[in-house]
Amino acid sequence: MGDIEARSNLMWDSAMAENGILKVGRLTDFQAHMIEHQLGAFTDCNHGQGLAVIQPVYYRHILKDAEDKFTRFAKVVFGEETAEAGLDALESFIDECGLPTRMNQLKSTVEITPDVLRKVADSCLIMKTGSRELDRDEIYEILTECI
């Protein structure tokens, strides 16, 4: 807690992770973040917890469009051989951390209903990068699978 070097490294890493400089010239995928930001705009759920719910479902939707990347993720992060096994391991890790895995577990004072999720999907920024571009109906489908 008192390690100023560790704290300063964490601050620097955080700044570099989200300022965009590390993504210059690369195809990135932040669609899950855009979906969660809109969910947060319509509810008061915690951003990280919302991502814990959305990301595994979103990843399964784009799995075949980026199977090589998900296979690499599975091997490097979880020591798994297949993309599917890596996503299973990610879901297990999220659960093991005590994070929510369904919308009804988010601590939102706003009830997260299909109507709210439709508004989220209809107003979400659709990223022009990533494995493939989603449409609003698929975003809604992803969100409703998270219920």
The reported pLDDT for the residue numbered 37 is 96
| pLDDT tens digits, 60-93 | 999 999 999 999 999 999 999 999 999 999 999 9
| pLDDT tens digits, 92-103 | 999 999 999 999
Asked whether 47 and 40 are in contact (CB, 8 A), the reply is: yes
The reported pLDDT for the residue numbered 87 is 98
Take residue 26 and report the two structure tokens written for it.
Answer: 């690369």
Go through the domains of the chain in sequence order and give each one's CATH number.
29-145 (1.20.1090.10)
Contacts of 75 (CB under 8 A, 6+ apart): 81, 86
Residue 129, amino acid: T
Take residue 100 and report the two structure tokens written for it.
Answer: 């929510």
The Cα 71–Cα 79 span in angstroms is 10
Q: How far apart are the first and last CA of the chain?
A: 37
- Assign 1 a pLDDT band (cuts: 50, 70, 90): low
| Alpha helix (H) residue ranges in 43-82 | 47-62, 67-78
| pLDDT tens digits, 12-33 | 888 887 777 777 777 778 899 9
